[in-house]
Amino acid sequence: MNRTAGLPRDTEVSFPDGNAIIIAGNTLFRVYNGMLARHCPALAAQVNASAEFISGCPVVRITDTPHDIKQILRVDNPTRPPADSQPFSVLAAWVRIGTKYDMGKLVDHAIGQLQSLFPACLPEWDDRGNPESRHGFAGANAIEALNLFQATKRFEMVPAAVYRCCQLAPAVVRNGTTRADGTRERLSRKNIDLVARAKERSKEHGARMIEECEEQLEQAESCSYSWGFPDGCAEVISHLGYTEENGKEAWRDGDPLNSRFLHYVDEQEDGKDYQSRDDFANCMGACSNCIEEVHEQLGVMRAVVWNDLPAMAGVDQEIGYWCRGVCDD
C-alpha cells in the first residue's frame, strides 16, 4: 500500500527529482539529501537511518507541522539567516524547529529578533520602536510565545511573554488562539493560573503607583520657575500626582508598564527659558528640571514592577539574565 497516496505535496520548497522524502503532518516534502545534510544535519541523519522507502527515496515522518518545516527549508543557509525582520510566526518556527534539530545559529538569530518584543531590560521595553508591526505580532501571539519560551527554556523571555498575556482578554487566555498554520495554541491549566495571578499582581502594582504618585511626586529642588512663581511648578506637579486619567487607567487595569502617562508628563513641559517675571504670564506648564524629576520618580516606581516580573512569571529561580531596575546603558 502506498501510504503517501492522497497526501498533499509541497510545491514551494520541494524538488521533483529530490532523493529524500519528509512527511510532516499530512504534507510530503521532496528534498535533496545532500542539501538537507548541510541544512539540518539532525534531520538528514533521520532520513539516512530510515527503513521506509517510497519510489526508492528514504522517508522520514516527523511530528512537526508543515508550516514549521517549510520555514526552515525555505532558509537558503541556516548558518547565515537573512538579516531582515521576519514575521513572528516564522521566528517562532525557527526557534521551535531549530531547538529540536540543533540548528543553533538559526535559533540564536531568531531569539535576537524576538528580544525586541520580549526584552529583559526596562529601557528596551520602553524604547521598542514598534516591534509589533515590524514582526506582524498580534496580542494573542503572546500565548504561542509563552509556550515556546517555556518549552525551549528561554527563561529570560518568559516574563515579558507573561506580561503580554496579562493584557489579553480573559476569554483568550482561557481558550487559546490559533497559530499561523492553524494549529491550536492553548495555555496549560497551570499557565492560565499563572497569568491570572500575574494579572492580579499587575493591578496591585498599578494601584500602588497611582497612590505613590499622589504621595510622592514633587517638583525638583532645582526648579527653574521658582523665581517666576512662589510655588514654582508645584501646581502642575500636583495635577500629575492626582490625575486619575491620562494613562493611569491602564495601570489600574493591570498594565503598570504602559507608557501613555509618561508621554502625558512630557506634554506638561513648558520648557521655555524665561527672561523676566512678566514673561511667565504665558507659562502653561512645568520647567524641564521638574519634568525630569517626575520621570525619575516614575522610573523608580516602574522599576519595582519590572523587577517583580521574573517572580510574577514564575522564573525567578531559572532566569539567567535580568536587568534589574533602571539600566545604566
Where does this chain bind Zn ion (CB under 5 A)?
A: 223, 225, 232-233, 287, 290
Question: For the chain, how big is the Rg over CA atoms in Å?
Answer: 26
- In order, the DSSP letters of 133-182 are HHTT--TTHHHHHHHHHHHTT-GGGHHHHHHHHHTS-HHHHHH-EE-TTS
CB of 210 to Zn ion, least distance (A): 23
Nearer to Zn ion (CB atom), residue 227 or residue 242 = 227
| Grid cell 506580561 in the structure block, residue | 163
CB of 277 to Zn ion, least distance (A): 15
Nearer to Zn ion (CB atom), residue 221 or residue 318 = 221
* Residues in Cβ contact with 272 at an 8 Å cutoff, skipping those fewer than 6 apart: 279, 283
Can you tell me the distance from the alpha carbon of 197 to that of 312, in angstroms, rounded to the nearest whole number? Answer: 8
* Residues in Cβ contact with 128 at an 8 Å cutoff, skipping those fewer than 6 apart: 116, 117, 119
Nearer to Zn ion (CB atom), residue 64 or residue 270 = 270
CB 240 within 8 A of CB 212: no
CB of 282 to Zn ion, least distance (A): 16
CB of 225 to Zn ion, least distance (A): 5
Q: Which three cell numbers stand for residue 87?
A: 514575521
CB of 233 to Zn ion, least distance (A): 3
CB of 234 to Zn ion, least distance (A): 8
Can you tell me the distance from the alpha carbon of 281 to that of 131, in angstroms, rounded to the nearest whole number? Answer: 43
Nearer to Zn ion (CB atom), residue 200 or residue 221 = 221
CA angle 126–131–135, rounded 5-degree value: 160
Nearer to Zn ion (CB atom), residue 168 or residue 287 = 287
CB of 291 to Zn ion, least distance (A): 8
The residues facing 1 across adjacent strands are: none
Burial 117-153 (b: 16+ CB within 10 A, else e): bbbbbbebbeeeeebbebbebeebbbbbbbbbbbebe
Nearer to Zn ion (CB atom), residue 166 or residue 286 = 286
Nearer to Zn ion (CB atom), residue 160 or residue 236 = 236
Nearer to Zn ion (CB atom), residue 225 or residue 306 = 225
Can you tell me the distance from the alpha carbon of 266 to that of 283, in angstroms, rounded to the nearest whole number? Answer: 15
CB 229 within 8 A of CB 277: no
CB of 286 to Zn ion, least distance (A): 5
CB of 229 to Zn ion, least distance (A): 9
Nearer to Zn ion (CB atom), residue 235 or residue 318 = 235
Residue 167 dihedral angles phi and psi, to the nearest 5°: -90, 0
